[in-house]
Structure 1
């Protein structure tokens, strides 16, 4: 299921990455549908029409929030497993095959996921690759304690059984930019989660995203704290206090990392907003001491890049 709104630039790449994995004899096993959030951009429907018979199109009667559009994807999905692939993301070869293998190993598995990598606007692979939870494919041990502290998977890396959404409910739009994280926690509490160590999903990083706006304002940490406030009703009681403390500290560490990156690029607005929300998230001495290092680390990073430009010969 491919949710989209106004953006058509990357849609063909997303669709093609799915079609590349499906042979002609397997098409009756797959549903590929673009769920448009009542866009004014008619190019979206035009692109989908090029795949007539292979890709269907649904348009919301009116524009809704992004998470309600995700939930429409769930409601319209006909298959046993649901993969929500954003219109600017792509999947690699064997993604669906490897996810299905995972689900088939144990009926208690509610979601299957893989390592994922960030790509840029033109599809070049960036340095970031998600964490390796185990060297061989299998169920992630102690997953509740890991996913509660940090959102470990971007949406294109996760496939969920439809019955899981039917039992646990759909995405909570009140969580806003952390709606996916809150959903992964709910799943981890109630089901086992399968992990595929191969990098088979790719999350596109560019300026024309909700994520970039959220990071600039520091609202990402506001939403993260909103998820943490649900721990007392979501998590087992014996884990709640410990994981709440660790998750708030992780919020602080992540905010500092973003502040450092922003400051090294001269983006003072993002730097200030991230540090402000870090201070609202945690008073951990470990985190507070690192905040003092951010300006100096940013200066060193800036000087390092400048020196590389001077001394590294141009090929």
Structure 2
């Protein structure tokens, strides 16, 4: 398990309720879209010491500090990194910096919609045992056009009873729609640096295994897909699917042993469909090289379905005689 983030101790009387920590890398323009809505919802709480907003710059070539200065006007803290740590290293640094009871890791190219923080806080207040809350999220293009919406996992806001089983098959949630209690991050540790593309998926499964998750049945955030993102680069190479398969072992480790075989088969089937669908989407856009790589990964996932499941050390189980 990854080490617990080195979060500085804060007294209960001095701890803010909210920490909104925004990792950025070469997305100052998108940050300028994200910050106003965060401050519209939490600006008064920041002024009262009930919330903190921190932008963590992973050695950007553009100027997020200028955006923070122009739009934050003293309400937003800027933390620059002289050396590029990469996405996961920066996420863990964000956890180190967060002192609030509720931690929202909002990627700099994503957005929250009006009512996000009130709805999530109310949901967590209604279920004090919950370690995290998840809302529905709208996928948008680089210029903000909606393309899809994540599904609803229950009717109305409340405890997501099937969270771990769903998350063991695939990453069913989007990062901007996830809020985690700081105490839960301290208990389960930071994001796994061994999974540069799937670390968030493994983290959500780890949290769901640790305690209950609340589902907020409203679309309250936006996840931006664009060619400059880390995800888009991995899609073009097919690495997104390869790491999805690699991540199955640590993700399924959070599930009871008797459920792992069936969930692994479902996860591989889902990965094959996902890669095949992505191949078609890329082909329609004329991205032939990326489409071919996704198609190849789809076939590999189907081939893995007929192989023995790996043992805990990652090696295939011996074929029964």
Taking a change above 3 Å as real, the CA distance of residues 57 and 26 of structure 1, as seen in their structure-2 partners, is closer
CA distance in 2, matches of 1:25, 1:169: 28
Provide TM-score, normalisation by structure 2: 0.85
Number of equivalent positions: 284
1:157 pairs with 2:169: no
Provide TM-score, normalisation by structure 1: 0.86
Taking a change above 3 Å as real, the CA distance of residues 282 and 15 of structure 1, as seen in their structure-2 partners, is same
Taking a change above 3 Å as real, the CA distance of residues 200 and 276 of structure 1, as seen in their structure-2 partners, is same
1:241 pairs with 2:261: yes
1:255 pairs with 2:275: yes
Q: Could you give the per-residue CA deviations for residues 161-193 of structure 1, whole angstroms, max 9, x where no partner exists?
A: 111111111111211111111101101111111
**What is the SS of the residue equivalent to 1:172?**
coil
**What is the SS of the residue equivalent to 2:52?**
coil
Taking a change above 3 Å as real, the CA distance of residues 25 and 102 of structure 1, as seen in their structure-2 partners, is closer
- Structure having the larger proportion of residues in helix: 1
Structure 2, unaligned runs of 5 or more: 1-20, 307-321
CA distance in 1, matches of 2:135, 2:272: 26
CA distance in 1, matches of 2:26, 2:101: 29
1:179 pairs with 2:199: yes
CA distance in 1, matches of 2:108, 2:101: 22
Cα displacement (A) at 1:284: 7.7
**What is the SS of the residue equivalent to 1:224?**
helix
CA distance in 2, matches of 1:279, 1:120: 28
CA distance in 1, matches of 2:45, 2:104: 20
Alignment partner, residue 96 of structure 1: 117
CA distance in 2, matches of 1:212, 1:181: 17
Cα displacement (A) at 1:23: 5.0
**What is the SS of the residue equivalent to 1:152?**
coil
Taking a change above 3 Å as real, the CA distance of residues 179 and 37 of structure 1, as seen in their structure-2 partners, is same
Cα displacement (A) at 1:24: 2.4
Cα displacement (A) at 1:49: 1.2
Alignment partner, residue 168 of structure 1: 188
Alignment partner, residue 51 of structure 2: 30
CA distance in 2, matches of 1:284, 1:121: 34
Taking a change above 3 Å as real, the CA distance of residues 159 and 120 of structure 1, as seen in their structure-2 partners, is same
CA distance in 2, matches of 1:258, 1:16: 33
**What is the SS of the residue equivalent to 1:252?**
helix
